[in-house]
Amino acid sequence: VAVTLLNKTRAAVALPSFSALVARWPTSAALATADPHALEANLRSLGLQARRTRTLLRLARDWLADPPRRDARHRTRGYPFPGAGADVRRGEVLRDDDPRAGALEVAHLRGLGAYAWDSWRIFCRDVMRGVARGWNGEGAAEEGEELAAFEPEWKRVQPADKELRAFLKWMWLKEGLAWDPDTGEKVPVEFVRSEEHTSE
């Protein structure tokens, strides 16, 4: 829902509409049965309100009919990289242990694309899959050895959206690494600082 509201809209404009929307229709079931005219009126300040209304109603209904679930990944042809999902048949549902790329738990929900899929992976996927209690790996394991092997999903995302890129750059900086959103390469922050210092 947030991604649909943020598309082609600044966060400062979208967030009040998001808050009002979830206050009025707090669940998928409530949103799925929302009066289209009332929902459209709620979204008017964002522009594209008729399109957003159709998308949100369809998303809520699809979610109720077939909610995302652990161990059920659907094809995301060409995502997260060109050619991904080419070996996944249309309608095929992959289990979690299937090593093929190009499938996500939310890909069967109509109207979603790379921005929503990146956001899902960054903020929701680890919790939904039951591998962590939080999106940044909180509660991933109690044992030090298992925790050291765990890598939060956000660390494998390379989004095109500028805001998601900025967020991940910040997250990587907190890890002590400068992350290049175009290549995915990471270098220690100290190396970046010393390189900048010698060029002055």
* Closest by CA position to 169, among listed 187, 144, 190, 150: 187
Give residue 195's pLDDT band: very low, low, confident or very high (50, 70, 90): low
Name the amino acid, one letter, at 190: E
Angle value at C-alpha 16, between 14 and 17, nearest 5 degrees:
65
Cα 48 from chain centroid?
Answer: 22
Supply the pLDDT for residue 147.
52
Check the CA dihedral 99-167-76-111 and report its sign.
positive
CA atoms within 13 A on the CB side of 98: 19
- Please say whether the beta carbons of 178 and 189 come within 8 A: yes
Could you tell me the CA-to-CA distances from 88 to 31, 80, 91, 106 in Å, in that order?
32, 14, 8, 15
- pLDDT tens-digit readout, 135-184: 888 888 654 445 557 899 999 999 999 889 999 999 999 999 999 999 99
- pLDDT tens-digit readout, 54-88: 999 999 999 999 999 999 999 999 999 999 999 99
Mean pLDDT of 112-139: 91
Surface-to-core class of residue 142, CB atoms within 10 Å of its CB (0-12 exposed, 13-18 middle, 19+ buried)? exposed
Check the CA dihedral 37-41-46-47 and report its sign.
positive
Q: What is the percent of the chain where pLDDT is above 90? A: 66
Supply the pLDDT for residue 191.
58
190's tokens: 């100290």
